Structure 1
Amino acid sequence: MLVHTINEVREQVKAWKKEGLSVGLVPTMGYLHEGHRSLIEKAVSENDRVVVSVFVNPTQFGPNEDYDDYPRDIEKDYDLCSDAGASLVFNPAPDEMYFPDRCTTVNVEGLSKGLCGAKRPVHFGGVCLVVSKLLNIVTPDRAYFGEKDAQQLAIIKRMVRDLSMDVQIVGCPIVREADGLAKSSRNTYLSADERQAALVLSRSLNKAKAAMEDGMRNASEIYKVISDEIASEPLAKADYIEIVDSETLQPVETVEKDVLVAIAVFVGKTRLIDNFTYRV
């Protein structure tokens, strides 16, 4: 079922809950790929009904970012959702989600300052706003997010905890192409040469992971392993390379607890992200 209004979603979810059915939510910005399918299938396996939202959220894009160019294909998205077992696809227009005179914001301080937040200052405020709205609209038992957006996942978990929201946030592993590139809707922006160059993200992280497994613990040395590999690819330019505490997202000098190793890299004009968590 494809719906476009908040009232339609609420009426359907109320009917399900009246039957005693559990509800899962998979928030997306559309142009779905196998990574999204894995989230939907996980949700289907753990809930009686699953709602997938398909909404390119304007509030999480800053000036000169790719909101207008972000790929959209609701018919293809709906087919993937149906095939993966979703019960309802919610595809609202921006004016359905946001009042023109809205004045409420949702911000998670601290966790949103570094990594992608340092480069995209409005991004996570927009993410928190839309996710909080979707959680209020759908009232799911569980909501599913990909670990590729590791900072987003940490921020949403903290928001849900701090605001006492009655929902379980479930993180799901990164899904990759056969050659290692993390699946992303933005991969469609890459030319053939850029697509090959983009492999430097997973390659640099794999080298760092191998070095850490061999005993490397100094964050600056881990940084250099990644930086040198990215620098070896002419079409790639690092936006950031960070080794941070996996819970607080604060930079570490030495790996003594679980850490998130996260990178953002421009390949041509396309900004891609990737990461892994190293558990001590």
Structure 2
Amino acid sequence: MSVPIVRSVAQLREIVAAWRREGARIAVVPTMGALHEGHLSLVRAALERADRVIVTLFVNPKQFNSQSDLATYPRTEDEDAAKLAPLGAHLLYAPDGIEMYPEGFATTVAVNGVSEELCGAFRPGHFEGVATVVAKLFLQTGANLAFFGEKDFQQLHLVRRMAHDLDIPIDIVPCPTVREPDGLALSSRNERLSPSERQVAPKLAAILIDAAARVAGGAQINATLDEARSAIAAAGYARVEYLELRAEESLAPMQTLDRPGRLLVAAWLGETRLIDNVEMPSRLESIAHKECAA
């Protein structure tokens, strides 16, 4: 059993049109390949909600800040297709750079506000590249549903805003972060970690979860986050780009835990940049939970 691979927009649209005539509900799972269990969990979720599932594989040059990072990004199409086949994915759409960005291509999609802080402050142009390619994938596939992991929570917000603002008729479905048994969030970039770095890496999630619990329990926010930054550095991370408490719905900064939030972090371990986030209930929800448990 194998998954069909399509490389052109024309062929993709021909197949999708036939599915439409059958009345099929179509989902898309955008990826850059190097598939791991996190990606596969998105595919499984899509198969539960849709009649046909398209997985896209395109290493998007427009979202890389470093040419060396782009050059070394893993390209494992054969292995990816082999992982998708037993799941029952209906199509792998794997265009090349010329198909996605033909000669003369001159359009960029920019989502102001949500793209300018957190990762956006450290990766200029990255989210413009993400928004541009995802908009194209939505329009090329004509999907009803799109599945994204919550690990890149800022990207999830960006994609939702872009689809809403451009009136693209697609529902964005968030899926929980998938983790290794030791807590490390799954990422294609984890493959770059040395054995010693891999031992250190899970401490990021552990510190994040501990800080979230302390804040939810009533600890002072700024002091707790300062302590968490110091703990990340002490664990062996080279530097912390950001560790911030942001509102779940808007990504606005939070100074008090008066609504559901996310604690988000980006930090460098050696030459590898890792991101993570954890959900945190509002202070009122935390108190109510404790009272119910008492």
Q: What TM-score comes out, normalization by structure 2 length?
A: 0.92
Contact in 2 for aligned 1:114/1:249 (Cα 8 Å)? no
| In structure 2, C-alpha distance between the alignment counterparts of 1:238 and 1:199, rounded to whole Å | 15
Displacement of 1:65 in angstroms is 5.6
- 2:261 maps to amino acid: V
Correspondence for 2:241:
239
User: Residue 63 of structure 1: CA displacement?
Assistant: 3.5
2:47 matched residue in structure 1: 44
**Contact 1:33–1:185 (Cα < 8 Å) also in 2:** yes
Q: Does 1:182 align with 2:185?
A: yes
Tell me the amino acid that sits aligned with residue 201 of structure 2.
A
Residues 155-166 of structure 1 aligned to structure 2 (within 5 Å): 155-166=158-169
How many residue pairs match? The answer is 279
Structure 2 SS opposite 1:154:
helix
Matched, 1:100 2:103: yes
- C-alpha distance in 1 between matches for 2:78 and 2:239: 35
The Cα shift of 1:222 comes to: 3.1
- From 127, 131, 134, the equivalent of 1:131 is 134
1:121 is aligned to 2:158? no
Match of 1:57 among 46, 56, 60: 60
**Which has more radius of gyration?**
2
Query: Is 2:154 the partner of 1:151?
Result: yes
Q: Pairwise mapping of residues 1-280 of structure 1 onto structure 2 (< 5 A)?
A: 1-64=4-67, 66-216=69-219, 218-280=220-282
1:219 Cα deviation from its structure 2 partner: 2.9
Question: Does the CA contact (< 8 Å) of 1:144 and 1:171 recur in 2?
Answer: yes
1:208-245 per-position Cα deviation (integer Å, ceiling 9, x unaligned): 122023222x4312312321220211344212111112
Whole-angstrom CA distance in 1 between matches of 2:224 and 2:103: 47
Q: CA deviation at 1:199?
A: 1.2
CA offset digits 1:87-138 (Å, max 9, x no partner)? 0001111111002321111111000011100000111000000000000000
CA distance in 2, matches of 1:228, 1:249: 24
Range moving further from structure 2, 156-165 or 122-131: 156-165
Which blocks of at least 5 consecutive residues in structure 1 are unaligned? none
Q: Which moves more between the two structures, 76-85 or 243-252?
A: 243-252
Preserved contact between residue 242 and residue 251 of structure 1 (Cα < 8 Å): yes
SS of residue matched to 1:50: strand
Amino acid at match of 1:8: Q
Letter in 2 for 1:205: L
Which segments of structure 1 move beyond 2 Å, counting only runs of 4 or more? 234-237
**Cα distance, 1:235–1:243 mapped onto 2, change above 3 Å:** closer
Aligned equivalents of 1:97, 1:240: Cα separation in 2: 33
Distance in 2 separating the partners of 1:179 and 1:46:
30
Letter in 2 for 1:157: R
Residue type matched to 1:220 in 2? N
CA distance in 1, matches of 2:263, 2:135: 27
CA contact (8 A) 1:2 1:90 kept: yes
